[in-house]
């Protein structure tokens, strides 16, 4: 058995029944470890901002990993609707991919918007619900405070310009001397 055959067999066995969720979970795990780490190493931000951003990024990936696995698995269950085993296997792979994409585009952002902000607010003791809230909104004053000028009311017929406009002399030099010059 040569080296080329061994590499082919390894690649064939890796790609034979590859679940798309595995690659995305590996990426999410790396992001869950390194993003908060690099955020905390930023020397330009304040410590409070760094802690908040790192916790938020870590929580996002903690939510993302099981969501990718769950959505990919649930979508792959739809392949049981196919009677032909070859088509069912192809459909299972494609449906898993669609499930992972759906998780990335819809499910994870929705879950993060529901769970991450309240969780971080509890950790950092942010209770801004009663602060900066007025009991009554200010009334909107729509009356203009500018000085009102009275216009002289004169019918159009008395101005002398009902159906005619004053003629202006137009010369060709006004058009030839205009425009962009290169």
Give me 70's structure tokens: 């769950």
User: Which of left, alpha, beta for 132 (phi over 0: left; psi -120 to 50: alpha)?
Assistant: left
Given this model, what pLDDT does residue 104 score?
Answer: 94
Cα dihedral 122, 126, 127, 129 sign: negative
pLDDT truncated to tens, each residue of the chain (182 aa)? 688 899 988 888 877 777 888 889 999 999 999 999 999 998 888 988 899 999 999 999 999 999 999 999 999 999 999 999 999 988 998 999 999 999 999 999 999 999 998 888 888 877 655 555 556 667 776 777 777 777 666 655 555 555 556 666 666 666 666 666 65
Looking from the CA of 159 toward its CB, the CA atoms found within 13 Å total: 11
The number of residues making up the chain comes to 182
- Contacts of 73-82 with C-beta under 8 Å, sequence gap 24+, read 73/21, 73/99, 74/99, 75/99, 75/100, 75/102
> Which of 120, 125, 136, 134 is CA-nearest to residue 59?
120
Question: DSSP characters for 107-164?
Answer: IHHHHHHHHHHHHHHHHTT---SSTT--SSPPPP--S--SPPPPPP---GGGTT-SS-
Q: Give residue 179's pLDDT.
A: 62
Phi, psi of 73 (to 5 degrees): -70, -45
Return d(Cα 122, Cα 20) in angstroms, integer: 35
What pLDDT sits at residue 162? 55
What's the pLDDT score for residue 148? Answer: 74
Task: Please give the Cα distance from 67 to 59 (Å, whole number).
Answer: 13
Angle between helices 20-40 and 47-76 (to 10 degrees): 180
3-state secondary structure of 130: coil
């Amino acid at each position: 058995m040569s080296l080329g055959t061994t590499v082919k067999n390894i690649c064939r066995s890796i790609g034979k029944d590859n679940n798309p969720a595995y690659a995305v979970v590996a990426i999410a795990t790396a992001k869950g470890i390194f993003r908060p780490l690099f955020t905390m190493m930023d020397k330009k931000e304040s410590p409070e901002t760094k802690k908040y951003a790192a916790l938020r990024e870590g929580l996002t990936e903690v939510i993302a990993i099981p969501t990718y696995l769950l959505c990919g698995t649930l979508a792959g269950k739809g392949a049981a609707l196919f009677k032909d085993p070859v088509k069912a296997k192809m459909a299972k792979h494609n449906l898993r991919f669609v499930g992972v994409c759906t998780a990335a585009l819809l499910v994870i952002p929705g879950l993060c918007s529901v769970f991450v902000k309240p969780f971080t607010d509890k950790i950092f003791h942010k209770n801004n619900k009663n602060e900066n809230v007025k009991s009554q909104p200010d009334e909107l004053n729509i009356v203009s405070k500018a000085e009102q000028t009275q216009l002289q009311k004169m019918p159009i017929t008395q101005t002398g310009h009902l159906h005619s406009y004053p003629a202006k002399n137009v010369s060709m030099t006004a058009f030839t001397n205009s425009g962009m010059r290169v």
